[in-house]
Structure formats: C-alpha cells, structure tokens
Amino acid sequence: MTVDIDGTDRAALIPGGYTAIDVLADPEAREAARQAAESVNPSSPALSDLELAAPVRPGKMLCLGYNYRGHVPDGRDPRSEDPDFPDVFVKTPNTLGGPADPVVLPSAAVDVDYEGEIALVIGRTARSVPEEHALSHVAGLTLLNDVSDRSWQRRQSQWTMGKCFDGFAPLGPWIVTSDDIDDPQDLVVEVVRDGRVTVSQSTATTIFSAAFIVHHLSTVMTLEPGDIISTGTPQKLPEAQTAHRPLVPGDAITIRVAGIGELTTTFVAAPETPEVPA
C-alpha cells in the first residue's frame, strides 16, 4: 500500500478525518485509507495530475553519513574500514520539500551535491527497542534527496550548515508500507543525472541495517510516528566520483528504487535580490 496524502492539508480525503500519521500508526486508520483508495471515483483526477506534498511532516529527520561500503580493490576486506557506530546528523524542518518542489540553489552555496537515499518512516513509538523487534516500528519506506553543500560542510566539524539550507530535503513521492517490502536489505538504490546512472548499489552493502539503525537511535531518543530516518547514500560510481560537478540551475536528479518508486528533483537559480534604494 502507498500513502501519499499530506497529514495537514489533505486529511479530509481519508474517511474519519484521519491524518497521514494516523494511517501510519493506527491499523484502523490504515484500513480506512485502503478502502478509500480502492473505491476512488473514476472521475477523480489521476495521481499524475496532482501536485503532491511531502507524504508526511516529520517531527524529526535523522540522517546517516557513511553507511554503504565503498568500492575496494580485489582481495581487500570490504569491512576493514567499517565504523563502530553510525554517523548521525539532523535535517531541520525548513529543509523539507515535496516530491515535485524545485530546490533553489542559494547564492551562498557554491558546491551543492545530491545524495539519493531510502528513508524509513516510523509508525509506532519506539524507545529502547531491541534490534530484533525494531522493524515492527517502521511503517514504511520513502525516498529522500539529502541535498548538501560541500563547501559549507568543510567549514566546520559539524555538518548542520551544509545540510540545512531551505528545501534541501525533497521527500516522496509517497510512502510504501512495510507489508509491501519483502526485505529492506535487498533493494537497489539508483541515481540518474543527465540521463546517466551515477549511483547503483544494493542495501545489502550497508554497514548498519535498517533494524540496527532504529534500535540504535531509539536508545537515545523516543522515535515518534512520522519521524524520518534516512539510511545514507551509496558511493557514486567511480566515473561519476572522478568527474564531480556541483549542481547548477536546470539540473535534474532522479532517485529510483524498485518497489518504492522515483523521486525527481529539479534545481533552479535563486531569485535576484532587488537593490535597496539609497
């Protein structure tokens, strides 16, 4: 089942006034949404004709840094440089964008890059959850483009300023509920730029599994329905990594994962700042 109704603006589309977070957290609300989806009026507009908002408004967006093993020479143990713990950072609420929202390239950001990621959506409150039960707290999966400005990241040890420009977290296009995902560790993340695949890697190569991440984070903070955990980006393919080029207006990045969907983000120039009269 997919969930693509924004919890604040379009809750009325779900019988009973349920919000998207209700659908994720409450089996009764989920069943009401399923029945509503199955009885859609044929005259209703097609999904492709609608402008979707972000499928959920998370209270927290938690993201992982290095979580996919990189390309290593033959004969070398790919686990030899695994960190002991995940590198976790946050995306602030101002970064959230809908699946069709363009990302404005700020004039202050000179080295903007993309990171295609699978994001977990929490459906049940999780606090100190054992790893073996952690996935039962995940309502579903969606896609996130962890847009980042590398120049701001390099200015300090903390990544916040490089990660948290307005609109730097396009999310969507919908949430695929966990019952439709056989194994979150058996998915392939692909990213396409300028018609060329620049990323293609399986979640089987992650250092920290989805279950471990939920367990790990829940030992520190309570995870609430609607919270987003983005599971990290695969390393770019060698050719794309060598030919790094910052994003410019007109670029489009598509993240695609079979079974979840596609998230295409376009990048636009910042509007000119009007001159202030003397």
Q: Which of 151, 148, 113 shows the shortest CA–CA distance to 236?
A: 113
In the chain, where are the structural domains located? 56-269
- Residue range 32-53: average pLDDT? 75
Q: Which residue has the higher pLDDT, 47 or 147?
A: 147
For 69, the token pair is: 């093993």
The type of residue at 56 is V
Q: Which fold has domain 56-269?
A: Fumarylacetoacetate hydrolase; domain 2 (3.90.850)
For 49, list phi and psi in degrees, rounded to 5: -95, -5
In contact, 185 and 207? CB cutoff 8 Å? no
Of the pLDDT bands very low, low, confident and very high (cuts 50, 70, 90), residue 51 is confident
Angle at 251 between CA 245 and CA 257, to 5 degrees: 95
Q: What is the pLDDT of residue 37?
A: 73
The 10 Å CB-count burial string (b at 16+, else e) for 172-191 is bbbbbbbeebeebeebebbb
Tell me which long-range contacts 36-41 makes (C-beta under 8 A, separation of at least 24). 37/1
For 3, the token pair is: 């969930």
Q: What is the pLDDT of residue 43?
A: 67
The type of residue at 52 is L
105-116 residue pLDDT tens = 999 999 999 999
Residue whose structure tokens are 């950072």: 89
pLDDT higher than 80, residue 15: no
Q: Mean pLDDT score of the chain, rounded to an integer? A: 89
Of the pLDDT bands very low, low, confident and very high (cuts 50, 70, 90), residue 28 is confident
- Specify the DSSP class assigned to residue 259: T
> Taking the chain, what is the end-to-end CA distance rounded to the nearest angstrom?
58
Q: What is the pLDDT of residue 8?
A: 41
Angle at 195 between CA 47 and CA 4, to 5 degrees: 20
219-264 residue pLDDT tens = 999 999 999 999 999 999 999 999 999 999 999 999 999 999 999 9
| Model confidence pTM above 0.85 | yes
